[in-house]
Structure 1
Amino acid sequence: ALGLLAGVLLSLGALTGTIFLVAPAVGDQVRDLLINLPQFLADLDRNINGLVRRVPVLGRRAGESAQPGLLATSLGEVFGFLRGAAVPYLKGGVTFLIEGISVVVMAVYLARHPAVYTEGVVALVPPRRRELARSILRDLNITLRAWIVGQIVAMILLAVLTTIGLWLLGMPYFLAFGIFAGVAAIVPFFGVLLSTLLPALLALGSIGLAKAVAVAALGVGVHLIEANFVAPYVMERQVNLPPVITIAGVLLIGKLFGLTGLVIAVPILAFVMVLTRHILVGHMYGDPISETKPSGTVPADAEPTIAPVPAIP
């Protein structure tokens, strides 16, 4: 527990210090990006039209009746609507930030002092079921710790690699897009897609197709590194969530709970998997569950921490 707390505090401290160092530059880049956004949209529309003229098959697939400037006009209308609804969206953003921070703080406290909450919950369970309750809560605590560590590592890794890569490619606003990539990583799969698409569109509009392809390739490469190092060794081995279940769960929980649901979707799904393994598989079906708990939580030669649970008589 002390190691987890120290690691989380050190990570948050390093992240906070980095934010204070780069915040002025990020703020300047975001402000410049918003100021130049109409010009970027016009350039993007012009470059896409030029690409369609050079590659006629794109024009036939898109439809010959497409109006010139349609992209810039449509996006301009969208941003005009957003400007008109700035106050509600700002309020929603602040609420989302407060709720997201609250979720992280509660998760850290739960992982730091699990015994306090465990015994309080166990006391509400009938005596003959208390050992099962302790096993479930022990697994939930392991899963929560794995999610916290994996999420922090993934966010920092994606932010750093994206920032460095965009800087090496000579992209403007590399700091803003790098920070955005780290923040967007908290939403599985869809955050990755968005953080890769936005800088590629900017490159397509302001620089050209070759740069856009390079930026998109960078985004794919960075996320492949994260998926092959962070996900297998930190998240999947301990949280143990199949990708299809994760995607479906993110869509469903996001629909039910909005933006906050996108943030808490993975821990909720992991908790549901733990409860299913213990109660449905282990208790109701009577199958041993010691082999199906999250892998990577204990050494291979250690004694099982969760004994097989007999079926309900």
Structure 2
Amino acid sequence: MPNFTEQSEILKQSGASAPSPRDSFERRVFRATAVVLGTVAGAYVLWLLVDLLLLLFACALVSLILLTLTNSIRRRTRLPFGACLAATVLGLLALIGGSVWFFGATMQGEFAELAARLPAAWASVQARMMGSPLGASLLERAQSFAPTGQSVVNAATATLAAVGGALSGVAIVLVGGLYLAAQPTLYTVGLLRLFPRHAQEPAAETLDAIAVSLRNWLKGQTLGMLFVGIATGLGLWLVGVPAAWAIGLVAGLAEFVPYAGIIFAGIPALVLGFGQGTDVGLWTLGVLIAVQQLQGNVVMPLLQNKMVDLPPAITIFGIIAAGILFGVAGVLLATPLTIVVLVLVRRLYLREEAEEVLESGSEPAVPPPLTPKG
């Protein structure tokens, strides 16, 4: 019995003399139907795997951070890539561990004070509001929306489950990002091989544009988070708000999602501030407004040459759209996802060159050395 290779040779030889079949209407309809069904099936599979894709994107962001720091060390020291990556990971671990050791006791006391003072401050605010007809009316309406004991228990259970899932997700992202950063050439070459040969060069330029844009955004976002955290903590400390530095820490970390830092910090800060007195409450409101205005009108414009020029309206609608489509994970990754979409639109739809997309960005990082096979 002949094998498949022999059959292929026979078909090749017979195909030279056999007339080619006519491309009938039925064949064209069948091919078009197969393409449509395959596209729909592929889109459905991608939608089922959306959580995995978001996890991979988060791993890529962590890998980008590690590679940016590694290449910076490599340019300055000329050490091998592996040694620079090890130095980066150990340095980050030492920085995090040292920060926890140095500020841990202080922050623990700050958060304990925050948890202890919030109920009393809220009671004081309620008493002040009950002194006016408008405040009493607002409190009465708010109490109608107060959750029942069972709903609180259900919410607490769901929150604990979400926290557990988030911690496991963070662990996966960190480990996955480290693996991607350890062998970047292996994964970049493998990704490029998914494209046809004639499309590999423009695909590589587009991927470089995405990487540079994300790296610039990460630099600017880090500086913005530092500003929001320090300015909020310092301002609240100066006006006499309890647990000011704990609130500043929350504001700085939450600023990874644009505009979220002031919102998350504003509620406990205002409750504590007005719990101390009307004057302190008004000063607290002034500090929050001042930090938000400085962040939006002074700090971020100064950082525009270090990050992607992302209009605020697009940022806000990108966060809303990602939250609707992908939930909490989408909100956390909304801004970098929006940057990726904008780069793809400018490259693939508007047909802009990579230099135009990156005209305000830095040059691509020094590529890591080739990983030997075996």
Q: 1:185-200, aligned counterparts within 5 Å? A: 185-200=255-270
Q: Could you say which structure has the greater relative contact order, defined with CA pairs below 8 angstroms and 6 or more residues apart?
A: 2
CA shift in 2, pair 1:235/1:87, >3 Å: farther
2:288 pairs with 1:207: no
2:229 pairs with 1:165: no
CA shift in 2, pair 1:95/1:264, >3 Å: same
Task: Note the alpha carbon deviations across 1:235-282, whole angstroms, 9 max, x for none.
Answer: 675322211111011011112222221111111110011111111111
RMSD (Å), alpha carbons:
3.4
CA shift in 2, pair 1:110/1:142, >3 Å: farther
Q: 1:143-292, aligned counterparts within 5 Å? A: 143-204=213-274, 206-228=275-297, 230-234=299-303, 238-282=307-351, 288-290=352-354, 292=356
Q: 124, 137, 155: which is aligned to 1:66?
A: 137
8 Å Cα contact 2:110/2:246 also seen in 1 = yes
CA distance in structure 2 between the partners assigned to 1:295 and 1:145 by the alignment: 14
CA-CA distance at 1:20 after TM superposition: 2.6
CA distance in structure 2 between the partners assigned to 1:45 and 1:118 by the alignment: 58
CA distance in structure 1 between the partners assigned to 2:294 and 2:337 by the alignment: 25
8 Å Cα contact 2:231/2:291 also seen in 1 = yes
Number of aligned residues: 283
CA distance in structure 1 between the partners assigned to 2:342 and 2:324 by the alignment: 20
TM-score, normalised via structure 2 length:
0.64
8 Å Cα contact 1:29/1:173 also seen in 2 = yes
Q: 1:48-87, aligned counterparts within 5 Å? A: 48-50=129-131, 52=132, 59=134, 66=137, 71=142, 73=143, 77=147, 81-83=151-153, 85-87=155-157
Q: 112, 123, 133: which is aligned to 1:31?
A: 112
CA shift in 2, pair 1:191/1:160, >3 Å: closer
CA distance in structure 1 between the partners assigned to 2:89 and 2:300 by the alignment: 18
Q: 89, 99, 111: which is aligned to 2:169?
A: 99
2:358 corresponds in structure 1 to 294
CA shift in 2, pair 1:176/1:81, >3 Å: farther
8 Å Cα contact 1:249/1:265 also seen in 2 = yes
8 Å Cα contact 1:254/1:261 also seen in 2 = yes
Q: 77, 86, 98: which is aligned to 1:17?
A: 98
Q: Which runs of 5+ in 1 are unaligned?
A: 54-58, 283-287, 300-313
TM-score, normalised via structure 1 length:
0.75
CA shift in 2, pair 1:13/1:253, >3 Å: farther
1:56 corresponds in structure 2 to none
CA distance in structure 2 between the partners assigned to 1:102 and 1:228 by the alignment: 37
CA distance in structure 2 between the partners assigned to 1:101 and 1:160 by the alignment: 27
